[in-house]
Structure 1
Amino acid sequence: MERYSSPQRFILTGGPGSGKSTLLEALRQSGYRCYEEVSRQLIREQMSRGTGILPWENMADFAELAVRSMYRQHEESSDSSGICFFDRGIPDVFGYLGYYGLPVPSHYLTMFDSCSYQPEVFLLPPWKEIFVQDRERPQSYDESEALSLWLKAAYTSLGFNVIELPRCSLQERVELVTSVTG
C-alpha cells in the first residue's frame, strides 16, 4: 500500500493533557472526519472490567489492545475521502513502549507498514496551564513531558515530519494545522 494515498490521514500526537482531544473536536466542528483516541476508551473498558490491563500497570498487554484498536480505526477510515485526523496513531504505541523500556513487537511494525499516514504529524507539546489529571490520565506533568519526547523520537525514527504546534489559542492551532493539510 502506498504510504501517502487517499484518504489523507493526519495524526495528532503528544503527551497526556497537551490538548489533542480539544483540537480534534475543533477540527471535527470544522467539518473534518476525526477519530478519537482509542486509549481512553480502552482504559474505561479495562477499569470497568477490573482486568489490570492499564498502561501504568501492564503496558505490554495494554499496547496489544491499543495497537489492534488503532489498526481497526485506520481500516475504518479507508472508506473516507479527503482529510481525516487521528488522536494518536500506531507509532504512539512505539513511543509509549520505549518510555516503559519495552521492545516493539515485530507484528506491530507489520501492522504499521500496512497503514498509510501522511508524512506530517502534529505534536502538541506539554502545556502546564491546560494539563489536568483524571482517572483515565493519572500521569504527572513531568511524565507527560517525558512521554512527549519519546513520541517525537518514535515518529522521527519512522521518517515522519514532526510539526510541533505552539502553545496558542485553539483557533490558532486549528489554522496552523489546516494551513499544512490544505
Structure 2
Amino acid sequence: MGIVKKNYYLLTGGPGSGKSSVLHYLKIQSHRVVEEAARAILKEQKRRKGNATQFGDRAQFCQLMLRQSLEDFKTHLSCTEKIFFDRGLPDLLGYKSIANDARWTSIIEKVELANLEYRYNQEVFLFPPWQEIYTLDDERSHSFSQASQAYDLIKEALLEANYFPIEIPKVPIEERAQFILSKTQNVV
C-alpha cells in the first residue's frame, strides 16, 4: 500500500445532496477544505466551450478529474491537521460502469492504481440523495434520478476500494457538520 493520510477526510455522494454546503460551512469555521475537482473542470470546459464533461467526453472528463484529484492529494502531504475533501479518487471508480473501450480501460487502470497508492481516512462521509434540497445549477445538470444513481455507484466504489461509508443524516447544515466533526475529533 502507498500513502495513507488519516487526516484526509473524504465527503462524497451524488450531486445535490448538500455536500458542498456542509464543506462551505466547515471552511467558514476555519477548517481546511479542498474544493471539488469536477466543478472547476466543468467551469473551465464551459469557458473554453470544451466537451470534457459528465455528459460529453466522459473519458476525458474522468482523466482531468484524476489529474486534479491526484494534485489535490499530493499538494497537502505535509499537512498534519484535518483536511476535508469535496470528493476524491474513490469517486472516479464509479466510471467503471461505463468503461466500454480500450481508452477507458487505460483510464480505469490508472484510477485503480491511484486508489491503491493514495488513501484517505478509511471512514468516508457519504451524503445520501435528498429530494427536498436538490436543485440544479450551472455545473449540476443531473436529474434527481441520475443523482440517486450516482450515489449508488459512489457507494459501491467506496466499498470496492475498502473504505467504510458513514451516511450523513438528513438534518440542517450545522448539524451535519457537527456530526462529521464528532466522528473526526480523535484523529490527528
- TM-score tier by shorter-chain length is over 0.9
SS at match of 2:39: helix
**What is the CA–CA distance in structure 2 between the aligned matches of 1:66 and 1:5, rounded to whole Å?**
20
Q: Identity over the aligned pairs, expressed in percent?
A: 31
CA contact (8 A) 1:59 1:100 kept: no
SS at match of 1:54: coil
Structure 1 residues 65-88: Cα deviation after superposition (integer angstroms, max 9, x where no partner): 001100000011113111100000
Does residue 106 of the first structure (1) align with residue 105 of the second (2)?
no
Paired residue type of 1:109:
E
**What is the CA–CA distance in structure 1 between the aligned matches of 2:30 and 2:2, rounded to whole Å?**
26
Q: Which residue of structure 2 lines up, in the alignment, with residue 32 of structure 1?
A: 31
Shift of the alpha carbon at 1:99? 4.7
CA contact (8 A) 1:98 1:150 kept: no
Structure 1 residues 8-51: Cα deviation after superposition (integer angstroms, max 9, x where no partner): 10000011101111111111122211101010110010111112
Structure 1 residues 92-151: Cα deviation after superposition (integer angstroms, max 9, x where no partner): 1111x1353555621222222221310000011111111111221110000000100000
Q: Which residue of structure 1 lines up, in the alignment, with residue 13 of structure 2?
A: 14
If the length of structure 1 is used for normalisation, what is the TM-score?
Answer: 0.93
If the length of structure 2 is used for normalisation, what is the TM-score?
Answer: 0.90
- Unpaired segments ≥5 residues, structure 2: none
SS at match of 2:131: coil
**What is the CA–CA distance in structure 1 between the aligned matches of 2:115 and 2:163, rounded to whole Å?**
13
CA contact (8 A) 2:124 2:164 kept: yes
Q: Which residue of structure 2 lines up, in the alignment, with residue 125 of structure 1?
A: 128
Does residue 152 of the first structure (1) align with residue 150 of the second (2)?
no
SS at match of 1:132: coil
Q: Which residue of structure 1 lines up, in the alignment, with residue 119 of structure 2?
A: 116
**What is the CA–CA distance in structure 1 between the aligned matches of 2:49 and 2:97, rounded to whole Å?**
24
CA RMSD of aligned residues (A): 1.6
Match of 1:177 among 176, 180, 183: 180
Q: Which residue of structure 1 lines up, in the alignment, with residue 84 of structure 2?
A: 85
- Unpaired segments ≥5 residues, structure 1: none
SS at match of 1:163: strand
Paired residue type of 2:25:
A
Q: Which residue of structure 2 lines up, in the alignment, with residue 142 of structure 1?
A: 145
Structure 1 residues 154-174: Cα deviation after superposition (integer angstroms, max 9, x where no partner): 001111110001110111111
